[in-house]
Structures are given as structure tokens and as C-alpha cells.
Amino acid sequence: MVFVCDYRQPIGEYTSLMLCDSESDKEAPDVNHEEDDEENVENYELEDDDFIVDQENTIHDVDVDMADFSLNMDSDMERDDVPNGFLVDDEPEDMEVINNEDWESLDEGSDQDRKRRALIKSLGKPKKCSHGEIHKVSFYVGQKYKTKQELKEKIDMHALETRRNLYFKKNDNKRLRAQCRGIVPVSNKGEVYSSKITSKCKGKEVNSQISSCSWSIHASRTDLETDWFITTMHDTHSCLKTRKLRACTATFISKQILDQVEANPVVPLRALQDHIQKKYEVGVSMDKVYRAKDKAKQLVVGDYTKQYELLRDYVLELQATNADTTVKIDVYKEPNHVSPTRQFRRIYVCLGPLKKGFSACLRDLLGLDGAFMKGPFPGQVLSAVGLDSNNGIYPLAYAIVESENISSWKWFLENLGDDLELGTNSNFTFITDRQKGLLPALAQVFPNAEHRYCIRHIHDNMRREWRQTEYRDYLWKCAKATTIPEFEHVMREFSFYDREACEWLKKIPPQHWARSHFTGRAVSDVLLSNMCEVFNGKIEHGRDKPVIGCLEYIREYLMKRICNVMKEMKKAKGPLTPTATTLLEAQITQASQYIARWNGGNKYEITGNLQDQHVVDVKNNTCTCRRWELIGIPCKHAIATLNEMVKNSEDELDIYKWVHKVYFLETWQNAYSFKVEPIKGRAMWPKSMCPTKLLPPKHHTQVGRPKKKRRQSEGERLSKSQRRSQGATQEAGFTLGADGVKKLSRKHVSVTCGKCKNKGHNSRTCKGQGGRQVRTYYKGHFGDTSSSRTSTMVYFSDVDVFGLGIPMELEFDIPFHGVVFAFETDSCSKQLLNAKMFPFYFRGYCCWCIR
């Protein structure tokens, strides 16, 4: 059932995509505009070392080839196999002028009809024109056409083939006469020139060129219901050819390049221009090619406005082919209830097979995110994506809404809760990017749900003020700590490093971003919302299509993806999925360094290096490190316990009994046993009985040229082209000098100022930026070693002793004999100190140089 309410979504190897973007790093809304440059399809791949990557929760997904996606929603569009879309009906008669009434009165079996058929066979053979060329389009007296438009298109095609300018002198309901306006050259004493005529205009003589080419054609019909016949023609051209043709319009060119645009929607304009100019030997401007490509795209993907009228029919077809599918359409409130139209607002889609497959995944975890539409009408694609048994994405529901706000997210979450049968007190787990409209909506719909924040987005907010990689490392250490004591210890270290940054992080409740405060209900300790970003990257080329084209692109991608995953399943040898097997083998390797001691009951004491000691409870399948509880795979302490149990038992113990059933190959297969069904073509869709007609959503044109490229976060400013320009050797970790000597690369390394000890600048450009500046003051007389004075009183403030970062204030009577210490200042003369009196290390600057 469709809900409409007035208010008061090639087989390849597994790939790993580590990507996220913050709230401010979304895509700009976009309209139907041509890009100047080819945008890289791999736009979402991040290669900067400053990005947070969770190696233990890498999102694995199969490649799906969507290059052959094609959808035409225009019911009135016809595609024929006849070249250029022209129909030819060869029914000639041997006469120069023909009477239409006599022509239609011929009997089919008469002698005259047999002669006519014999003449058709002879006239059907290719003939040469006056210049000795054979053209594809030929006319003859008696040729029949069903419509006048068909005849006009054939005349235009003849004009292109012969490169002549033809115009219609007569054009009414019963008559059509075309003539040639070409320039006829005149020969006089070996010179060739165009004929001219002198006429008077307002009393002045004006020389003008006149076309005297004899080519002409005349067609007519007896009444408005009969066919058109060519009654008179002269097929000889005596004029010169030209490259500027009236018939070469953008509409005509769009039909010639239709197949190319359908095969490659991003074909460059320059390639299309060269193709038309070489094929027809005519001049075509770039603006005309652009308009032609735009019209061809409309013929291929459909009209953006018209598809809203067909949206209800598409919904009926989708629900008829995929059982238990939920589709809800929301419209804007209409003040006039008797109005026959409604303005589209939102649509929510949850396919029945995906709904059943997600329940079979056994993971109560969903990622929520949105991505901008790229068509002429603004909007966003909201998505709910889960994780399957192999840590691959499993899209569940999607919607197209007006924007990411509280109202749209609340509407999406309410529909999602109805499909998953989630109540208000549900303890489901969601992971989001902290979008300002999503936070309150999720708190209102599911107040008791576990809400996780993506660490990448937290780091993006942190690096606006603290850009050094040390802050990222501390954030990641705090987030991946699995126990509360470990979490508090790392937070104290972070506070010692930078109290202000630590206080900023404490404002975010740890139950939203730290593993130590997570529950084990989701059977996953994922910290990044990669599943949503991967899905958004997969449907990137579908978000610039009309509304039905976008929905169909997503449905076809989901249908193909299930097939590709099933082929990957056949390669797995079980009993666990490939990803689970890799994680378990890594824990088995680390377990060999631990020693287990039995207490005589159900618990074991596990001891390792560096005071790593935990307790494993084999009855409750828990470990004090909490890793086993969080992900459902035995940790290294549990595997060490199992090794000890094998020594004390005669029976072999199965390690797979301790693995959660979500990771088994059988669970993976059950989740993908539900297939997304294909749908029929537009002509076979059921007709909606809804009395109202859907109109496109509100559209406010923005000032300036619309943007098509995605807004990158601050960590993504360095584009891939800039990365390549730095050279592959630098990406490998070293640079190659002119003399062939390899040097360690300083890429992504922040310089440290020698004065204030802050990063991001050097001592020559130091102005105290970047935080507290460490100042040192020296009091007393600074002479050279030849001075008569043997010592002087020197006062040190904020001295770094042994490089430990401990500020101290010291005052010494320093002799000038036995110099060993040099000041780090270029403008000061090097003053040295006695090594026996000062065995520790001082660093500072002379106050004469810094004041």
C-alpha cells in the first residue's frame, strides 16, 4: 500500500574503504550542469596518514559494476532500429506529377499496380546524384509518409548529407514545399563567382546574392486523415556546399549522439563535437553540442519533472514484485483540499527481502547518514546501513527527503522502527556522524538506544583547534581502550599533555565514543561510520539522476550486490566467514605469549608481558579485558585459557563454540538467501488510482554556478592529483635526489619551533603563535673567555632539565673557564658552561636576542 499524507530513500575482489566526512564536509547541492573536468570516481578514497583507520573493523565490500545501468521513463519516446530514426516507405510511381485521388484508387491486383511494384524495385536501387555521389536519403515522386514531421526530418537529413541549406517555402496542413537556398557559382572568362542581383531599398541600390538552385520538392495530402505523398520534385543541386547548415540543430544532434550518451553519460563535449564534424563535415559550436548532450541525457534518463508523475506507478510495481516492501510517500500540506495536485516532499523505501535478510544477520547495529542529491531539485538521500557476518555493508532502508533536519530524520526513524518492530524502549545500537538534525530526532524516537559517535567526525571537530597528530593518537587510544581503568589512565596522560584539549573531549559523554563504555549487544566494537560512507560512495552516480532513476539505481545496485556476495561465499571454506577467520587467527598468534593458571573452578588467571594480567570466566564466556564480550570472538586471553584446558583434558575442545554465531558462514548465507526481485518496464507498470497528481518539490535557484564536486574536509584538502605530483617515491617513504641519493621523506611531518617549542612553524617565523611561549631570561654580565672576570651571576627561568619538559628556575654563579655549553642563538656569541658544575642539560635563549 502507498501511504500519502498531508503534513501538519563486475564481480571483483573485496575492497576496503576507510572513509568518513563530517557534518560540514557534505556535498553541495547540484543542478544539471556540465563539469569542466572529469571527476575521479575514487573521490572518497583517503590516503592521508592523518586519518583515523580502524584496522580491526575494516569494512569489506564487493565491487558492483553499475556502468550498464540504463532507465528510460519517457513513455512517448520511441527508439527504432532504422538509422537516425527515419522511416522509409518505398512506394514509387513513374510520374512527375501525381493525383492523390487516383493514386489511392488503385486496385491491389490490377495491371497498373503490378507495374507500380516493378517500378518500386528499380527505384529502390541506389542512384547517384548530380555530383556522382550516392546518398542514404533519396526522394522520388510518389513516396509516401505517414506524418509531415517524418518528411521534414528526412529533408533535414538530406540537407546534412548534401551540405545544403534547405528551407520550407510552404508549410501548412495539406502542403509542404522545400527549396534550396544555395549559392550558384557563375563562370565568366575563367573566373568563378556567385550570381548577384541589384535591388533598390529606400531609393538606394543594394547588391545581394540570390539563390537560383533548382532543387525543390513538393508534398501534399487530400485531407487531414490521409498520408503525405511527394507529388513534384527536382533532385539536382547546382549550388555550392557549405559548412553552416540550418538543419544541424541541437535537437537533430541529440538524436545522432543518443547511443554514445547512453553508453557513456560523461563523454566529453570535445569528443562529441569532433564526431559530428567528421561525420557530416559541418561546423558545430561547443554551445550547440552542450545543448544537444543535455537533450540526449533527458531522452536517456528521463525528464526530472515528469518522473514525479510516474512515481506512484513505480511504487505499485516495486511492491508487486518484492513482497513485504514498505514504501511511503509524503507530500506538502495543500490548503485547497480539492486541488488535483500535491507537491512531493519525501519517499521512504525498505525492500522486503532486505528486511528479512537484515534480521538474519543477527546484528542490532545500524549506521545512519545522508548524502546530497545532484539533480536540479534539492534533496538528500538518507540511508540505514548495517553490517553482515563478514563485516560487509548490508543496506536496509533508504529515503529521499528535502534536507537533513529534525523533521525528516524523525520521519525516517519512525518508519524504520515500524519495519524493524522497534519500540520506544528498544536498546538497538546506532552509529552516526553527530548531524545536528539527527541527534535530537534519535533521542526522541529511540531514547533508550545505544548511540555511538563516529571517531572520525569527532577528530575533524578537534583538529580545527588542535591539528597535531599527537591529539589524534590520544583520541584513538582513549576510544579503543576496552576497560574503564585503561580509559581513565589514557585520559590522565592526555590531560598532562594538553589539559584544554582533554577538557574539550570530556564534554562528549564517553558512552557515545569509547569502547570501555559500550555494551556488547551489537556484537561489534566499530568506532567509525564507514558502512554509510561506503554505501554513499557506491550510489554516487545514481544521485544525479531523476527521482525514479535514483531509486532504480539503488535497487539495481542492491540486487547485483547480493549476487556478487553469493559468488564470494562459494570461495569461503568455513566454518567462519573470511573476516572472522582472519581476526581469530590473529588472536591465536598472540595467545602463545600468555600463561594461564586455573583456580580449580570456572575461572583462569592469564598473565602476559608488561603486567598484562586478566581473568577469564569460561562459564559466562567473559574476560576482564571485555574484548570477547564486545565483538563475540575469543580474545587472546580466552584462547590461552583454551590451550590450558586442552592440557588438562583428554577431550579436544572446539574453539568455534566460543565464537558468536553471527560470524558463522551459515549465518552469512542465510542473510543473503533473500533476493531482490527485478521489475518490468515502464509500459507494463500498473496504473495508480490516486486522484491527485504529484508535482516536483520546491526549488530555489542558488546564486552563481552550482557546484558538482564534493566538499572535502580539512584533512582531505590535498587532492589526489597533488599526491601524484609529489611522485611515487615520496609516497613510498623517501625522496630521490638529483644525484640519485635516497633521503627520508618529511611528508606530513610538522616542524617544531626552537624558541617556543610549538609545532607548525620554525624559529625564524616565530611570533608566539600556537600556545604558551617558553621564555628564558639571563641576568648578569656576558663577556668572552678572554674577559678579566672569572664568573658571573646567571638566572634561568623555565629551564628544560634533561628534556623532560619540567620548568624550573635556577640561579648560578657561572665561571667562564672550561666551556662546554653553547646557546642556540645565531646572533649571540657562543657562551659555554663548565660541564663539571652543570652535568644536566639546559636549553634557552639569550634575552638580548629575543627582546
Q: Which of 45-54, 328-337, 380-389 has the lowest mean pLDDT?
A: 45-54
In this structure, is residue 828 part of a structural domain?
yes
In this structure, is residue 60 part of a structural domain?
no
Q: Would you state the pLDDT for residue 582?
A: 94
| Residue closest to 668 by CA, chosen among 559, 520, 566 | 566
Mean pLDDT calculated for residue range 483-509: 95
Across 727-824, the runs of DSSP E, i.e. the strands, are 734-736, 742-744, 791-796, 810-815
Among 305-309, 450-454, 456-460, name the most confident range.
450-454
Q: What's the total number of domains in the chain?
A: 6
Alpha-carbon distance 772 to 780, whole Å?
26
Q: Are both 215 and 328 inside the same structural domain?
A: no
Q: Which of the four pLDDT bands, split at 50, 70 and 90, describes residue 126?
A: low
Among 18-27, 49-58, 246-255, name the most confident range.
246-255
Alpha-carbon distance 328 to 7, whole Å?
13
How is residue 625 written as a grid cell? 579485558
How is residue 473 written as a grid cell? 593518537
Q: Are both 127 and 275 inside the same structural domain?
A: no
Q: Are both 94 and 225 inside the same structural domain?
A: yes
Q: Would you state the pLDDT for residue 321?
A: 95
Q: Which of the four pLDDT bands, split at 50, 70 and 90, describes residue 561?
A: very high
Mean pLDDT calculated for residue range 570-581: 92
User: Cβ atoms within 10 A of the Cβ of 726, count?
Assistant: 13
Mean pLDDT calculated for residue range 430-449: 94
The more confident residue out of 177 and 822 is 177
In degrees and rounded to multiples of 5, residue 4 shows phi and psi of: -120, 125
Q: Would you state the pLDDT for residue 187?
A: 57
Q: What's at 545, amino acid-wise?
A: K
Q: Would you state the pLDDT for residue 108?
A: 53
Q: Which of the four pLDDT bands, split at 50, 70 and 90, describes residue 700?
A: low
The more confident residue out of 217 and 770 is 217
Burial class (CB in 10 A: 0-12, 13-18, 19+), 704: exposed
In degrees and rounded to multiples of 5, residue 201 shows phi and psi of: -135, 110
Q: Which of 44-58, 246-260, 483-497 has the lowest mean pLDDT?
A: 44-58
Q: Would you state the pLDDT for residue 837?
A: 39
Q: What is the pLDDT of residues 712-728, one digit of tens each?
A: 665 555 444 445 544 44
Q: Would you state the pLDDT for residue 177?
A: 93
Q: Would you state the pLDDT for residue 830?
A: 36
Across 202-331, the runs of DSSP E, i.e. the strands, are 204-209, 216-220, 228-234, 326-331
Mean pLDDT calculated for residue range 492-500: 94
Mean pLDDT calculated for residue range 607-634: 92
In this structure, is residue 63 part of a structural domain?
no
Mean pLDDT (the chain, rounded): 76
The answer to whether 315 and 291 have CB atoms below 8 angstroms apart is: no
Q: Are both 506 and 471 inside the same structural domain?
A: yes
Helix (H, G, I), strand (E, B) or coil at 280: helix
In this structure, is residue 617 part of a structural domain?
yes
Instruction: Tell me what percent of the residues of the chain surpass a pLDDT of 90.
Output: 42
Alpha-carbon distance 729 to 598, whole Å?
53
How is residue 476 written as a grid cell? 584513538
Locate cell 537533430: which residue? 252
| Residue closest to 77 by CA, chosen among 254, 313, 292, 341 | 254
Q: Which of the four pLDDT bands, split at 50, 70 and 90, describes residue 484?
A: very high
Alpha-carbon distance 122 to 139, whole Å?
14
Q: Would you state the pLDDT for residue 702?
A: 61
Q: Would you state the pLDDT for residue 245?
A: 85
Alpha-carbon distance 17 to 530, whole Å?
8
The contacts of residue 570 (CB under 8 Å, 6+ apart) are: none
Q: Which of the four pLDDT bands, split at 50, 70 and 90, describes residue 699?
A: confident
Q: Which of the four pLDDT bands, split at 50, 70 and 90, describes residue 464?
A: confident
Alpha-carbon distance 460 to 807, whole Å?
32
Q: What's at 834, amino acid-wise?
A: N
Q: Which of 77-81, 181-185, 332-336 has the lowest mean pLDDT?
A: 77-81
Among 67-71, 133-137, 384-388, name the most confident range.
384-388
In degrees and rounded to multiples of 5, residue 532 shows phi and psi of: -70, -40
Q: Which of the four pLDDT bands, split at 50, 70 and 90, describes residue 733?
A: low
In this structure, is residue 62 part of a structural domain?
no
In degrees and rounded to multiples of 5, residue 668 shows phi and psi of: -60, -45
Q: Which of the four pLDDT bands, split at 50, 70 and 90, describes residue 252?
A: confident
Mean pLDDT calculated for residue range 59-80: 64
Quick one: how far is CA 182 from the chain centroid?
A: 52
How is residue 526 written as a grid cell? 566499530
Q: What is the pLDDT of residues 638-667, one digit of tens each?
A: 999 999 988 877 567 789 999 999 999 999
Q: Would you state the pLDDT for residue 784?
A: 39
Q: Are both 441 and 461 inside the same structural domain?
A: no
User: Is it the case that residue 814 has pLDDT exceeding 70?
Assistant: no
Q: Which of the four pLDDT bands, split at 50, 70 and 90, describes residue 698?
A: confident
User: Is it the case that residue 818 has pLDDT exceeding 80?
Assistant: no
The answer to whether 561 and 11 have CB atoms below 8 angstroms apart is: no
In this structure, is residue 353 part of a structural domain?
yes
In this structure, is residue 220 part of a structural domain?
yes
Q: Would you state the pLDDT for residue 761?
A: 82
Q: Are both 626 and 692 inside the same structural domain?
A: no
Alpha-carbon distance 748 to 623, whole Å?
39
Q: Are both 291 and 308 inside the same structural domain?
A: no
Q: Are both 554 and 636 inside the same structural domain?
A: no
The more confident residue out of 20 and 546 is 546
Q: Are both 565 and 656 inside the same structural domain?
A: no
Q: Would you state the pLDDT for residue 596?
A: 93
Alpha-carbon distance 539 to 467, whole Å?
32
Handedness of CA 534, 539, 541, 543 (dihedral sign): negative
Q: Would you state the pLDDT for residue 649?
A: 74
Q: Which of the four pLDDT bands, split at 50, 70 and 90, describes residue 669?
A: very high
Q: Would you state the pLDDT for residue 605?
A: 94
Q: Where are the alpha helices (DSSP H) in 79-175?
A: 100-104, 111-123, 148-162
Locate cell 547485483: which residue? 560
Q: Are both 338 and 414 inside the same structural domain?
A: yes
In this structure, is residue 226 part of a structural domain?
yes
Q: Which of the four pLDDT bands, split at 50, 70 and 90, describes residue 213?
A: confident
Mean pLDDT calculated for residue range 216-236: 89
Alpha-carbon distance 797 to 536, whole Å?
56
Q: How far is CA 825 from CA 391, 753, 792, in A?
A: 56, 13, 20
Q: Would you state the pLDDT for residue 454?
A: 94
Q: Which of 8-22, 255-269, 758-772 has the lowest mean pLDDT?
A: 8-22
The contacts of residue 495 (CB under 8 Å, 6+ apart) are: 502, 503
The contacts of residue 312 (CB under 8 Å, 6+ apart) are: 2, 329, 688, 690, 694
The range of the structural domain enclosing residue 272 comes to 260-301
Q: Which of the four pLDDT bands, split at 50, 70 and 90, describes residue 205?
A: low
Q: What's at 698, amino acid-wise?
A: K
Q: What is the pLDDT of residues 48-67, one digit of tens each?
A: 445 566 777 777 678 887 77
Alpha-carbon distance 533 to 403, whole Å?
18
Q: Given the DSSP bridges, would you call strands 228-234 and 144-145 parallel, antiparallel or unpaired?
A: antiparallel
Mean pLDDT calculated for residue range 376-398: 93
Q: Are both 203 and 331 inside the same structural domain?
A: no
Q: Are both 371 and 475 inside the same structural domain?
A: no
Instruction: Tell me what percent of the residues of the chain surpass a pLDDT of 70.
Output: 66
User: Is it the case that residue 15 has pLDDT exceeding 80?
Assistant: no
The more confident residue out of 788 and 764 is 764
The contacts of residue 266 (CB under 8 Å, 6+ apart) are: 35, 38
User: Is it the case that residue 354 has pLDDT exceeding 90?
Assistant: yes
Q: What is the pLDDT of residues 395-423, one digit of tens each?
A: 999 999 999 999 999 999 999 999 999 98
The more confident residue out of 427 and 34 is 427
The contacts of residue 211 (CB under 8 Å, 6+ apart) are: 180, 181, 182, 183, 184, 239
User: Is it the case that residue 299 has pLDDT exceeding 50?
Assistant: yes
The vertex-183 CA angle with 182 and 186, nearest 5°, equals 145
Its pTM surpasses 0.85: no
List, in sequence order, every residue forming a beta bridge with 348; answer none if it has no partner. Answer: 328, 399
